[in-house]
Amino acid sequence: MSGFLALVRRDLALSLRIGGGASFALVFFLMIVTLTPFAIGPDLNLLARIAPAILWIGAVLATLIGLDRLFQADAEDGTLDLLKAGRLPLEGIVLAKCLAHWLTTGLPLALAAPLFGLLLAMEPAGMAAAALSLLVGTPALTFIGAVGAALTAGIRRGGVLIAIMALPLMIPVLIFGVAACNAAVGGTIPFATPLAILGALTLIFAVIGVIGAAAGLRQVD
Amino acid sequence: MTMINQLANPTRFMALSGRLLPWIAGLGAVGLVIGFYGAWFSAPADYQQGETIRIMYVHVPAAWLAMAFYTVMTISAVGALVWRHPLAEVAQKAAAPIGACFALVCLITGALWGRPMWGTYWVWDARLTSMLVLLLIYLAIIALWRTIDEPTQAGRAVSILTLVGSVNIPIIKFSVDWWNTLHQPASVFRMDGPTIHPSMLWPLLICAIGFSLLAVALHLVAMRTEIMRRRIRTLTILAADRADRTAGMAGYGSAAE
Amino acid sequence: MRVSGGEGCCLRQSRMISTLPDPYILTARDLACRRNERSLFAGLSFAVSGGGGLALTGPNGVGKTSLLRVLAGLLRAEAGTVSLAPALPDLDLPQRSVFVSSRDPLKGALTVHELLAGWQAMVFEGEGGSVEGALQAFDLAALAGVPCAYLSSGQRRRVSLARLKLSTSVHRPVWLLDEPTNALDAAARSRLAAVVGDHLAAGGMVVAATHDPLGWPDLAALDLGAHVVHRQAEVALA
């Protein structure tokens, strides 16, 4: 357990310091929110209607940032070999690294969502729903991405490939994330339904992602 | 298991598949001729959809085969990961582009069929959308194959991706259906229902069998090609090593003199 | 073929028996390894006992690094087994060995002390080594607070090697070293030789891949070049 926490702490320290890029995802998220009105015009009604979609697509794309180095950096410099010699199983290593990635990517996005919702003329209820759905759903995005990151850990130019592999698998999370935001401000279904499914997806992808990524790292030799 | 092992030996596989291939391809061609004859001349036009119903005889088998090939890939992936069998890797690699082609055929025929039915080539119908996502997953798998040079390593990575994908496909199917009912409460029209008239059913089944045999033949050809490609790769590496060694010895010789 | 620790090693072993009744024995049987369709070596068997070691030699590409990775449990051998006696119930060879590869797993943003403390917590927890001891052993105390990004290649190598002292010869008796003296100056080399000497004296063993003579006592030589299989036109599916 202490090995697990030490790995989380180390990954957090590495991403928060110079060269780590912890803030990249948040800045990228802000860019997407800013670009959309330029593309569709400053129509506040339209923006408010599609705000959940913008926030969720922004979150999906921002999650991909940093994923290409999630395992590659450690695989390249031999840290992964060293970690394999410890008592923490590879699944634990994957889980620790996913947790650190989410703490510097998904969590800040969820916390910033209400603020960015202001730019998109969202109602307060919609902002709260967006924050909550991102909080529940973004771990699933990290876990899905981890599989892609593990499969490309041993190769260069893995970045785009991770996006190609992970994005189709992220569709369910996107569907229920946006549905939860929309349900909070109207519509026929209760907010809790898509949110509960989103939570279930996070749990399912936690299992698939951790097992899949660990299997992927095993074949990096 | 011995039987499977014997079949799974690449040399045996080459011999056996070489003998079977003309028969499978021939039977497939005959099946398609009969099936298409039935589809064009024997089966009636639909009372609602008219002559466009005949697209079904290509569209539905393509949809089945696109899914069937993912199943083939999943089974091969298990074989490649658990028993580490090279032939399973080859089967899986050869299946991906064929499955992707059938998914594409399914989408194109679906769009052509949709034009007279919906008045537009594409609507975000649940079935078509799921097939589009399946095509994306196929493309991702092919992209991963093309990125990792070393065949065995690529085989293992792709097998893992295939298995993760096969766990995800039901989830994606469920999500897309849910999303579709959320946005389109009334289903516009059913692509194929269980209530299909026998005069349409038999050409459809024969077409499906013909397409399946054609797909198996294509798969065998692709597997044989991949085995050849790997042999060439191995021979090239061995030849390069031998040339390098000879050059090295010659170098020693001249240095000694 | 059988290589044991050599003459010096046997003497040392007999001296060690009073303190360590069960000397460690690392046994490899019929190892074969293949990378990228190239057969590296096949039919390789050897035994190394505590207090001794092996120096792996041979030209580039014969599989010195691959053999070390097989011994470290990082690479699957195509055939053959590796075992360490006496066996322990839940610890496999990777958890009973320290593998120092030719790559330096340093993180530029962390200081040397943070890096070593991280390794200790993540990998070598509760194995009796200490960060201070590791710093001391490789003369790194002055660099403890320096970020790894600022280190020279010789200093990086020393930090890399310092992990050897984060465990003890009892917990991890097998040291697997890939070109350990690369980039090291004379002073650092003698530091390393002293650390290795202590390890052997405590009953541990060393397997080192090397191009240069290491100058360590008690190491038998194993020329992997003699075990390379040159496949002729034998074609197999990878």
By the 8 A CB rule, do B214 and B28 touch? yes
A156 vs C190: which has the higher pLDDT = C190
User: Average of pLDDT values for B34-60?
Assistant: 83
Tell me the pTM: 0.87
**Structure-token pair, residue C106:** 């340093």
Q: What is the pLDDT of residue C215?
A: 78
Question: Which C residues 15-54 touch B at CB under 8 Å?
Answer: 36-38
Please give the residue range of the domain that contains residue A12: 2-218
Residue B5, pLDDT score: 55
What are φ and ψ of residue C30, in 5° steps?
50, 40
Question: Does residue A197 carry a pLDDT above 90?
Answer: yes
Q: Total structural domains in chain A?
A: 1
Q: Confidence class of residue C115 from pLDDT cuts 50, 70 and 90?
A: very high
Question: What's the rounded Cα separation, in Å, for the pair C211 and C141?
Answer: 30
Count up the domains in chain B and report the number: 1
Highest average pLDDT, of B128-137, C32-41, C223-232, comes from B128-137
- Per-residue buried b or exposed e for A35-47, using 16+ beta carbons within 10 Å of the residue's own CB: ebbeeeeeeeeeb
Strand order from edge to edge, sheet including C219-223:
C97-100, C174-178, C205-209, C53-57, C219-223
Inform me whether the pLDDT recorded for C16 exceeds 80: no
Q: Is B5 on the interface with C (CB under 8 A)?
A: no
Chain B residue numbers touching C235 (CB-CB < 8 A): 231, 234-235
Q: Select the residue of A175, A179, A212 nearest B160 (Cβ to Cβ).
A: A212
pLDDT single digits (tens) A10-56: 999 999 887 777 788 899 999 999 999 999 988 999 999 999 999 99
Domain ranges of chain C: 7-227
Q: Do B175 and A172 lie within an 8 Å CB cutoff?
A: yes
What is the band of B243 on the pLDDT scale with cuts at 50, 70, 90? confident
Residue-wise pLDDT tens digits, C36-68 = 767 788 888 899 988 888 999 888 878 889 999
- Residue C170 one-letter amino acid: V
Percent of chain C with pLDDT over 90: 47
Of B152, B234, B245, the CB nearest to C235: B234
Q: What integer pLDDT is reported at residue C172 of this predicted model? A: 93
Residue A100 has pLDDT above 80, yes or no: yes
Neighbours of chain A (3+ CB pairs under 8 A): B, C
- The reported pLDDT for the residue numbered A156 is 77
Cβ of B77 under 8 Å from any chain A Cβ?
A: no
Please tell me the distance in Å from C225's CA to the nearest CA on chain A.
22
Tokens of C119: 């390794």
Question: Is C238 in CB contact (< 8 Å) with chain B?
Answer: yes
Distance CA A140, CA A108 (A): 15
- Is the omega angle on the peptide bond into residue B44 within 30 degrees of 0, that is, cis? no
So what's the pLDDT on residue C18?
45
Check C238 against B152: CB less than 8 A apart: yes
Domain containing B174: what range? 24-185+198-224
- CA-nearest of C74, C81, C19 to C47 is C81
pLDDT over 70, % of chain C: 86
Measured CA to CA, the distance from residue B211 to residue B61 in angstroms comes to 7
One DSSP character per residue, A148-206 reads: HHHHTTTSSS-HHHHHHHHHHHHHHHHHHHHHHHHHHTSSSS-THHHHHHHHHHHHHHH
What is the model's pLDDT at position C35?
Answer: 76
Is the minimum CB–CB distance between C88 and chain A shorter than 8 Å? no
Residue A110 has pLDDT above 80, yes or no: yes
pLDDT, tens digit, 9 for 90 and up, residues A129-160: 999 999 999 999 999 999 999 999 988 777 88
Closest CA to B8 of B86, B70, B101, B63: B86
Q: Which CATH class is domain C7-227?
A: alpha beta
More confident residue, C224 or C18: C224
CB contact under 8 A, B150 and C36: yes
Quick check: B181 and B174 in contact, CB under 8 A?
no
Q: Share the mean pLDDT of chain C.
A: 83
Residue pair A72/A216 in contact (Cβ under 8 Å)? The answer is: no
Asked if C76 is an interface residue toward chain B (Cβ–Cβ < 8 A), one would say: no
> How close is the nearest chain A Cα to the Cα of C149, in Å?
11
Q: Is the pLDDT of residue B224 over 70?
A: yes
**Predicted confidence (pLDDT) at residue B165 exceeds the cutoff of 90:** yes
Question: How is chain B classified by DSSP, letter by letter?
Answer: -HHHHHHHSHHHHHHHHHHHHHHHHHHHHHHHHHHHHIIIIISPPBTTTBGGGGGHHHHHHHHHHHHHHHHHHHHHHHHHHHS--HHHHHHHHHHHHHHHHHHHHHHHHHHHHHHHHHSSS----HHHHHHHHHHHHHHHHHHHHHH--SHHHHHHHHHHHHHHHHHHHHHHHHHHHHHHHHH-SS----SS-S---HHHHHHHHHHHHHHHHHHHHHHHHHHHHHHHHHHHHHHHHHHHHHHHHHHHHHHHHHHH-
pLDDT digits (tens, 9 = 90+) for C27-38: 999 888 887 767
Where residue C222 falls among pLDDT bands split at 50, 70, 90?
A: confident
- Reported as a single tens digit per residue, the pLDDT across A171-187 is 999 999 999 999 988 87
Residues of chain C positioned with their CB less than 8 A from the CB of A20: 109
Chain B: touching chains (3 or more CB pairs < 8 Å) = A, C
Q: How confident is the model at residue A101 (pLDDT cuts 50, 70, 90)?
A: very high
Higher pLDDT, B197 or B239: B239
| pLDDT tier for residue B196 given thresholds of 50, 70 and 90 | low
Burial class (CB in 10 A: 0-12, 13-18, 19+), A16: middle
Residue B151 has pLDDT above 90, yes or no: no
* pLDDT score of B189 more than 60: no
Question: Confidence class of residue B185 from pLDDT cuts 50, 70 and 90?
Answer: very low
For chains B and C, CB pairs below 8 A equal 33
Task: Give residue-wise pLDDT tens across range C54-111.
Answer: 999 888 878 889 999 999 989 888 889 999 988 888 788 889 999 999 999 999 999 9
